[in-house]
Structure 1
Amino acid sequence: MPIIESTYKPSFYFKNGFISTVYSGLVRRVSLKQERERITLKDGDFLDLDWSFSNSKSNKLIILLHGLEGNGQRPYMTGTANHFNNNGLDAVCINFRGCRGENNLKYYSYHSGETEDLHAVIQHAILSKNYSEIYLKGFSLGGNIILKYLGEHHAIPDQVKASIAVSIPCDLYGSCKELHKLKNKLFHDRFLRDLVKHLKEKQKLFPEELSIELINTIKTLIEFDTIYTSKAHGFRDALDYYKKSSSLQFLHNIKTPTLIINALNDSFLSSECYPVKEAKRNPNLYLEMPNYGGHAGFVDKKNVYYNEKRALEFINANF
C-alpha cells in the first residue's frame, strides 16, 4: 500500500519527542473501570486479562498488548480501551506473564517474539466469550508480537479483522542499538532497573537456573537479553533472539489489514524500523510516519491520543 500521509499536528511542546514520550508515560492519567480475569495456559502458567466494556452489549472486541515492562493499566492501554468502549467495542488488556506484580509460574516469561500467548487469548475470546469481530492493537514490544503473529501464522482466525501497531521496533537489534545510545540513557536505565529487579525476584523461585552473582553482572539491556531472555526462551544468545523475533521479516506475509504508526522522532527506532519497502509491496500493510509523537506519545486534544483516533478510524474504514 502507498505510505499514508499523517495529519498529526501536536501543540508546540509536544513536538519534542522526549517531552511527548515522558509526559505520556509518567504524567497522563486515564480513568477506566476494568474487571480482572485469570486464564490458565496450556503449559500450566497463567495470564491476567483486564476487561472493560461498552455501554451496550457488543460482539466486537479489541485486544491490547503493552510494551516492555508495561501492564494493562498503563495509560496508553487504558486510553485506547476507553476510546473504544465509548465507541461500542469491548476491550481486553493483556498483562504479559509476570507483568502485573505477581511472578508467573515458569522460569521463562514473555519476550518480543512470543506469539502463542496472544493466540491463546484470541481463542479464549472466540470460544469462551463468543466475540465475532476481533481487532488487535499493540504498542512497542506488543506491536512487534502482533505483526510477527500475523505474518508467521498460516491460519489466523476469521474473527480477527484488522490490527494496529504503534511505535514498533520491528527490527529489534536496530532498536536495541538505539536504546544503548547516550540520547536514550534515561530510558535504557529505567528499563534495565525494572527488568533486573523482577529477575532477582524470579531468581529466588528458580535458584538452580540462575545465580544472583550472574544477575549482578548485568549492566546493559543486551547483557540482560544474553543472560536471561535468550537462554530462558531457547535462543542461542541475544543476537539470535533479536534476529528470530523481529517482525520485519514477517511483514510481507501479513494478510490481515494492518496499520503501523511509527513517529519519525521516536528515539527508540532505527532506520530499519520504518518498513517503507514492505508496506509498498504488501496491499494489506499501511504505514503512517508522523513527524511527531516520540515513543507512544501521540498527545492530542481532550486526552484522546492521535493513535487512538486513528486506530478506530482505520477499523471503521475497513469494516
Structure 2
Amino acid sequence: MNFNNVNDDAFRPLPGLSNPHLQTMLPRLVRRRISLMPHWQRLTLPDSDFVDLAWSEDPAQARHKPRVVLFHGLEGSVHSPYAHGLLQAFQARGWLGVVMHFRGCSGEPNRLARIYHSGETEDASYLLQWLRDEWGHVPTAAVGVSLGGNMLAFLMGQQQERCLLDAGVVISAPLMLEPCSVKLEQGFSRVYQRYLLGLLKQNAARKLHAWPGTLPVDLPALKAMKKLREFDDAITARAHGFRDASDYYQRCSALPLLPGVAKPLLIIHAADDPFMTAAVIPPPAMLPATVEYQLTRHGGHVGFVGGTLLKPQMWLEQRVPQWLSTWLDK
C-alpha cells in the first residue's frame, strides 16, 4: 500500500515489533484469554434462522447505557482477541457492548441455505431496529472489523440518513474485495488465505453434517478447495444470488458507497496491512464530511499493538472508545 496521507503520530508499534505479520499475530498473545464473562442471547430472525449475541453484561440491567455493536471479521467471534478486548474497553467506559455473531459463527451451524458475506446487511439492519424496539432509544454506535467493517461501511452508505446508528468505526476493512482477494493469493499473504479457508471449510463441513443440502456443494467438493475465491465462487456467490465470486466482489465492496455515508464514520487502515492493497484507500475527494479516514504506517491487520514488552497496549482499545465518546457520552 502507498504511504500518501499516512499519519505517523497516530499509532506507534511496540519497539522492535513493527513487522506487519508480527503485528497481525501479536493480539493472540496479548489477549490470549477472555476475562469477560459474556451474557449470551439468541435472536430469532424474520426468516426463522438465528444469530447469537454476546453482551458485555445483562442488557436488562444496562438498558439505559449507551450501546456499541461489534461486527466481527471472517469466521470471528467474541473469542477473537479484538472482540473481547473492545467489549472490555466499552464496559470500562460505562457502555453496553454486544457482539453480533454472523450466521454460523457462534459455534452452532445456522439452519437455512445461506451463510454470511461482506455485503449482507439484512441481519445487522434487523438487529439495530430490534435493539431500539426491545431495549429503548439510547446513543448507539457500531464497530466493524475486517469483513464486518466492509459490511458496516456498506450498510451506512446504503442507508444514508436512515441508518439507526449515531456513529460507526471501521477497522482494517477490505473496502474493495477483488484486489484484496488477489493479494491473499500472493507471497506470505497465502498463509492467511490458507488459515481463513481452513476455518471456512470447517464451518461449512459442520453445516453440511448438521443440515444436509443447505450448501450448494458436497463434502468432497468442499475439501478440494484451495483458494478463498473458489469458496466464494462455489458457496458465497451461489448461495446468495451472485453470478460468481467476481460479481459478489464487485457488488459488495463498500468503497463506492462511502459518498452516501450520512452519519459520523471513522475508517482505520494500516498501510502495511498484509490483507490489503492501495485499492482500499478512498480518494479524499470522494469522502463526505461525515467520514474521517486514518491511515497509519504500521499496525498490520487488526493488530495495532504498542506500548512496551512488559506492558503492551492495544491501541484500538484506546482509539475507538476515545473517538466514539463524542457521540456516546452525551
**TM-score normalized by the length of structure 1:** 0.93
Contact in 1 for aligned 2:160/2:260 (Cα 8 Å): no
Deviation of the 1:183 alpha carbon: 1.7
> Is the 2:67–2:97 contact (alpha carbons within 8 Å) kept by the matching residues of 1?
yes
1:162 and 2:162 are equivalent in the alignment:
no
Matching residue of 2:66: 60
- Kindly indicate whether residue 176 of structure 2 is the aligned counterpart of residue 171 of structure 1: yes
SS of structure 1 residue aligned to 2:296 = coil
Amino acid at match of 1:136: A
Hey, what's the Cα distance between the residues in 1 that align with 2:100 and 2:16? 32
Q: For 1:285, give the aligned amino acid.
A: V
Please give the secondary structure, in 2, of the residue aligned with 1:11: coil
Structure 1 CA distance for aligned equivalents of residues 99 and 78 of structure 2? 5
- Output aligned runs, 1:17-36, within 5 Å: 17-25=20-28, 28-29=31-32, 30-36=34-40
Question: Which residue number corresponds to residue 218 of structure 1?
Answer: 225
CA distance in 2 between counterparts of 1:215 and 1:306 reads 38
Superposition map of 1:1-319 within 5 A: 5=7, 6-25=9-28, 28-29=31-32, 30-53=34-57, 57=62, 58-158=64-164, 160-204=165-209, 205-207=211-213, 209-277=216-284, 281-301=287-307, 304-318=313-327
Could you say what secondary structure the match of 1:153 adopts? helix
Q: CA deviation at 1:195?
A: 1.0
The answer (yes or no) to whether the contact 2:237–2:245 under 8 Å persists in 1 is yes
Q: TM-score, normalised by structure 2?
A: 0.90
Residues 39, 57 of structure 2: 8 Å contact kept = no
DSSP 3-state at the match of 2:162: coil
**Alpha-carbon distance, 1:79 to partner:** 0.8
> How many angstroms apart in 1 are the aligned matches of 2:312 and 2:40?
24
CA contact (8 A) 1:45 1:106 kept: yes
Q: Distance in 2 between matches of 1:4 and 1:295?
A: 16
Moved more, 122-131 or 227-236: 122-131
| Runs (5+) with no aligned partner, structure 1 | none
Give how far 1:108 is off.
0.7
| 1:34-80 CA distance string (max 9 Å, x none) | 10000100011000000014999443100001100111221101111
Q: 1:14 to 1:120 in 2, by over 3 A?
A: farther
Counterpart-to-counterpart distance in 1, 2:236 and 2:29: 26
Q: Secondary structure at the match of 1:196?
A: helix
The SS at the match of 2:119 is coil
Q: What amino acid sits opposite 1:312 in the alignment?
A: P
Gaps of 5+ in 2: none
